[in-house]
A and B are shown apart, each in its own frame.
Chain A
Amino acid sequence: MLSRRLFLQTSAAMAAAQTTAPKRLAIITTIYRYLSHAQHMGDRFLIGYPIEGAWHKPNIKVVSLYVDQKPEGDLSGVRAREFGFQVYPTIAETLRCGGDKLGVDAVLIIGEHGDYPRNDKGQVLYPRYEFFEQVVKVFEAEKRTVPVFNDKHLSYSFEKAKAMVDASRRLHFPMLAGSSLPVTWRLPAFDLPLGCRIDEALMVGVGGSDPMDFHALEAMQCMVERRGRGETGVKAVQLIEGDEVWKAGEQGRYSKALLSSALSRSDTPLGLSFEDSRPQDMVRDGVLPKLVAKPAAYFIEYKDGLKATLLMLDGALKDFNFAAKVRGMPEPQSTQFLLTPVPNVTYSACLMHKVEEMFESGVAPYPVERTLLVSGMLESCLTSKVQNHARLETPHLAVSYKAPAKSQFPQT
């Protein structure tokens, strides 16, 4: 949990950073191409980014880059020449900047995009763990560590994800990970009260697995982690698909009131709204089964009894919306996680601002355990999917952590 004192220290560190020598950053990525995560996140450290109504230039110098693949449109060489850094052939050399000692003060790992195989669960086998492991090897050899950010989920495998977090704890280096959704704008700008009692939560997302379901699950997690005494983990998950999703709604496995509330936040309902822009009460009108050819429900049963559901509803809408029933609040609490338009994708500036904060202060603004838990939830849901949609007990997901006291989405 980020205390007020720690927050003030963090803010002071960010302010002090501007008067000290720039921190040296290594970027380790799969590909560096226009609109790849590496480009729109990495570039923020090269040319700055908009935040809080100003163009902010981090006091950080990118000194080295590793790119695993160089497809057509690769920008790594062009960027290196313009901004005066080197592209190295291995991760170890990137961290040592071609020398024999760790030559950087921070590491940004972006294992997203690029040509990698998928497993039988449909997970793209991005080599995030493998990249991280090589980083850790250098840390161990040098007996020195620096903060590491890992974009998106830690790994497609919980076991590997856990090993990553364990290494950061063992070697005592700050680590942050995850999606932009928890730190992007919200409509409305609202967070659940810390310590509230949540009766039920529901998230609506869209897009393919496993990139977009991860974003939706992490958005849901950053809301529900604020309940009670904090997160204690997940005891079972189940993923169902097709008409079973609608039947589950009829049977009350998820709240239709929450679904209706989440959809009321959408700016992109499809079907009749797409045809002639009329607003729709999609749940009452019963249009979802007509619009969504392949629905999926991800049921998450938490150890403390909370039930949360992610509905992936391709065909019904195009944005990400959350709703929860909170004890003591008569109406559902709901919000949209605003994904601002391409190409600016300013949500990635929000995320890199958090990363910069960790690089400067040495303190992660929110716990990496959130992303660890979500990585595991996603993997287990996708295992359920290929195991005849069975409910799976997840004793390995007893991940405990406390949500940051301070809300992390942009409010200024």
Chain B
Amino acid sequence: MSTTTKRPKLAAVATTFFKYSHAQHIVDRFLDGYGWAGKHHRPRMDLVSLYVDQVNPKTDLSRERATRHPDMKIYPTIAEALTLGTGKLAVDGVVLIGEHGKYERNEKGQTKYPRWEFFEQIVDVYRKSGKSVPIFNDKHLSWNWEWARKMYDTSRELGFAFMAGSSLPVTWRTPSVEMPLGSRIREALCVCYGGVDSYDYHGLETIQCIVERRRGGESGVKWIQAYRGTQFWDAYEKGAWSRELMESALCRSHTLTPSRAGFNDTLPTTADMKRLVKDPVAYCYEHTDGLKCAMLLMSGLVRDFNFAAHVEGQRRPWSTQMYLPMPDGRTTLASFFSPLVNNMEPMFLTGKPTYPVERTLLTTGLTAAGVDSLFRKQVRVETPHLAIKYQPTKESTFWRT
């Protein structure tokens, strides 16, 4: 692939656009630039069109952005945003942001964000134009596995570059370390926070971006089992995941809720954790090659994403925090969207993804299967459909510069 010399034109297709929405964070970085490698970086491409599905006049920022950046026009349909009113595909790349907004929830508690529906409208333009361009899809592909798989298959069928995912794999790490390629990982977990069908996915991406570097690469997942509430604690007591790894992950946190009044930073006991975490959720799953992983949502105990793994040949757990400078009072910018945009840019310039979309296909399936296990009263769910094989990138793609 050769690097495009002219500035690519991009379209953004978003559910909604308000302060701190994913669309705001991502689109603003294309329009206004962002701090990168010690400079205010401006992407070598132009975001020329925007579609917003839900506009709340009280909170919307897309109109202000369009006024301030007249080269970006707002279109009433996805097709028009892609054709710029010409009737044919007229952009060189598409950013699909199906996060936030008022969408129905299904009986399993999944918000039916219309990522697949948006994607279908995008590829409809591709098919009609006889031409396709790269797509970045924010977060997981679809809440519905079948549709997610179709998104992936369509990208392969039409032969366009496709990237997706969360900020967690690409953000800062404290410490700034990478799992050596080819490591023999025996067990891995993430201690994080947030809700089901939202931050569970981020926790899964946190784990996956590390464990995919293990010997042999990724081979997929055989089964998953979710635990919630008292069953979470029963699983913990029975050793469904390693306590040593859990403690190591907790020791990477910057936001441990103190378990005793008057102390600012304490290691919680089991009793403390049971008291502090009202609604714990675990997704335990086994990869095809035998690797066992656990994603632990422990809201009330931490407000960050911490990873730990047992690696053969290492006496102590390997651990780090995927550090998100969160705009929850700590920051104003949610700068973790900067490495996400910075990883999209090369794809729009060269047509080559910076990391494999199969990672997100797998975590999409894991999220749906985890939700399914919870819905089916926390049974083990076999996941033959998640026999997804891929190899990681040799170069690390997390934020280091």
- Give the chain A neighbours of B115 by CB distance below 8 A: none
Separation of A349 and B267 alpha carbons in the complex (Å): 13
B57 at the interface (CB under 8 A from A): no
CB pair A189 B266 closer than 8 Å = no
CB under 8 Å from chain B, chain A span 95-136: none
Separation of A164 and B61 alpha carbons in the complex (Å): 57
A383 at the interface (CB under 8 A from B): no
CB pair A346 B263 closer than 8 Å = no
Count residues of chain A with CB under 8 A from any CB of chain B. Answer: 57
Separation of A341 and B258 alpha carbons in the complex (Å): 13
Which of B25, B175, B317 is within 8 Å of A277, CB to CB? B25
Contact status of A277 and B28, CB under 8 A, knowing A34-B262, A50-B252, A266-B35? yes
As a 0/1 sequence over residues 115 to 136 of chain B, the CB contacts with chain A under 8 angstroms (1 = contact) are 0000000000000000000000
B399 at the interface (CB under 8 A from A): yes
CB pair A412 B175 closer than 8 Å = yes
A192 at the interface (CB under 8 A from B): no
As a 0/1 sequence over residues 40 to 61 of chain B, the CB contacts with chain A under 8 angstroms (1 = contact) are 1100000000000000000001
CB pair B253 A276 closer than 8 Å = no
Separation of A153 and B79 alpha carbons in the complex (Å): 63
B393 at the interface (CB under 8 A from A): no
Q: Which one of B97-105, B161-169, B332-340 contacts A?
A: B332-340
Contact status of A268 and B331, CB under 8 A, knowing A54-B316, A261-B39? yes
Q: Tell me whether chain A's interface is mostly helix, strand or loop, or mixed.
A: loop
- Give the chain B neighbours of A34 by CB distance below 8 A: 262, 264
Contact status of A75 and B175, CB under 8 A, knowing A53-B317, A279-B333, A284-B40? no
Q: Tell me whether chain B's interface is mostly helix, strand or loop, or mixed.
A: loop
Separation of A273 and B249 alpha carbons in the complex (Å): 32
CB pair B335 A54 closer than 8 Å = no
B361 at the interface (CB under 8 A from A): no
A398 at the interface (CB under 8 A from B): no
Separation of A267 and B334 alpha carbons in the complex (Å): 7
CB pair A54 B175 closer than 8 Å = no
CB pair B39 A331 closer than 8 Å = yes
Separation of A340 and B335 alpha carbons in the complex (Å): 15
Contact status of A188 and B176, CB under 8 A, knowing A50-B251, A260-B39, A334-B38? yes
CB pair B266 A281 closer than 8 Å = no
A141 at the interface (CB under 8 A from B): no
B8 at the interface (CB under 8 A from A): no
As a 0/1 sequence over residues 82 to 112 of chain B, the CB contacts with chain A under 8 angstroms (1 = contact) are 0000000000000000000000000000000
- Give the chain A neighbours of B61 by CB distance below 8 A: 276
Contact status of A279 and B316, CB under 8 A, knowing A331-B38, A343-B265? no
Beta-carbon nearest neighbor of A412 in chain B? B175
Separation of A49 and B267 alpha carbons in the complex (Å): 8
Of the candidates A35, A40, A44, A276, the one having the most CB atoms from chain B within 10 angstroms of its own CB is A276
Q: Can you name 20 extra interface pairs (CB under 8 A) apart from A185-B174, A260-B40? A: A34-B264, A47-B263, A50-B253, A50-B256, A53-B252, A53-B316, A55-B247, A78-B262, A188-B399, A188-B400, A266-B333, A267-B335, A269-B332, A273-B332, A276-B24, A277-B28, A279-B34, A279-B35, A279-B338, A412-B177
What are some 13 contacts across the A-B interface (CB < 8 A)?
A39-B262, A53-B317, A54-B317, A185-B174, A187-B399, A260-B39, A265-B35, A267-B330, A276-B19, A277-B28, A277-B333, A323-B38, A411-B175
Which chain A residues have a beta carbon within 8 Å of chain B's beta carbons?
Answer: 34-35, 39-40, 43-44, 47-51, 53-55, 75, 78, 185, 187-189, 260-261, 263-270, 273-281, 284, 323, 331-334, 338, 340-346, 349, 410-412
10 smallest CB-CB distances across A and B, nearest first, come from A264-B35, A53-B319, A50-B251, A189-B176, A267-B331, A343-B264, A267-B325, A281-B40, A334-B38, A340-B254
